[in-house]
Amino acid sequence: MTLQLVNKVQQVLTKQNIKFKLGTKVVGATKDDSGVTLTLEPAQGGEQEKVSSDVLLVSIGRRPYTKGLGLENVDIKLDERGRIPVNPDTLQERKSS
């Protein structure tokens, strides 16, 4: 997804009173008949907070798992973070020149 699309989706969902807690990690959770209560703290460390809700959606980032696949043997180059660079329009591998 392009950053522009991600921002638009977040904007639409925010208008629907959905709250985003980016850069936050869950350090505890409890469930009862009324829903779930999470204990959160900033990913970089800091003061914890509790958030209660009847519904919860958790989304985590993805990491590339390209080590040990032998991609160098089939001439696929990785970027500095271990990802395969792709054309954002076609999602095909971006060939280096």
Same domain, 93 and 70: yes
Pairing of strands 24-32, 35-42: antiparallel
Domain, as residue range, for 84: 62-97
pLDDT of residue 82 exceeding 80, the answer is: yes
Same domain, 56 and 80: no
Same domain, 66 and 89: yes
Number of domains in the chain: 2
pLDDT value at residue 96: 60
Note whether residue 76 is domain-resident: yes
pLDDT value at residue 97: 54
pLDDT value at residue 93: 82
pLDDT of residue 12 exceeding 70, the answer is: yes
Sign of CA dihedral 19, 57, 28, 21: negative
Minimum mean pLDDT range among 1-5, 29-33, 71-75: 1-5
Read off the pTM: 0.53
Taking alpha carbons only, the member of 3, 48, 2 closest to residue 24 is: 48
Report the chain's mean pLDDT, rounded to a whole number.
87
The DSSP symbol for 80 reads T
Q: Please state the rounded mean pLDDT for residues 63-76.
A: 88
The residues facing 42 across adjacent strands are 24
